[in-house]
Amino acid sequence: MLVALTRKLDYSYEGGVEGRFIELISNMTLDPLLRHGARRSKHMMEYDQHTVDLATSDIDHNRFDRNGHGGLFPLAKTGYPDQRRVEIWDQCGAYFRERLEGVLF
């Protein structure tokens, strides 16, 4: 799902599929897992999988804060509607609108 989403985001906002993928992983607070080497013990791989399962489950069930922190599209500013009650494309739009605010406007 994340690869398809990053392709759509790259088409809409540019920045490269790999860069957008890493950005979303970072937004999910999973970026420490990207730093692990390929040689991992079975125990550590199971722990990593559990961490990913928890993060994705939290996103699936909208268990992130009202500004989207812990989700795919965290917002820095307040004043937006509760992101747990907003469709994902509206979350995405607010996220990129906020990020591009200083660049385009």
Nearest of 70, 38, 66, 45 to residue 55 by alpha carbon? 70
How many domains is the chain built from?
A: 1
Higher pLDDT, 58 or 105: 58
Give the separation between CA 32 and CA 26, rounded to whole angstroms. 8
More confident residue, 38 or 44: 44
**Paired tokens of 105:** 């406007």
Chain segment 45-98, per-residue pLDDT in tens:
899 999 999 999 999 999 999 999 999 999 999 889 999 999 999 999 999 888
Selected residue with higher pLDDT from 99 and 65:
65
Structure tokens at 70: 């812990």
The domain of 88 spans: 2-36+43-104
Our CA angle for 31, 35, 41, nearest 5°, is 115
Identify which of 57, 59, 27 has the alpha carbon closest to the alpha carbon of residue 49: 57
Q: What is the pLDDT of residue 104?
A: 53
DSSP state of 83: G
Q: What pLDDT shows up at residue 103?
A: 59
* Residue 42, number of CB atoms within 10 A of its CB: 7
pLDDT of residue 75: 95
Query: What average pLDDT does range 32-39 have in this prediction?
Result: 79
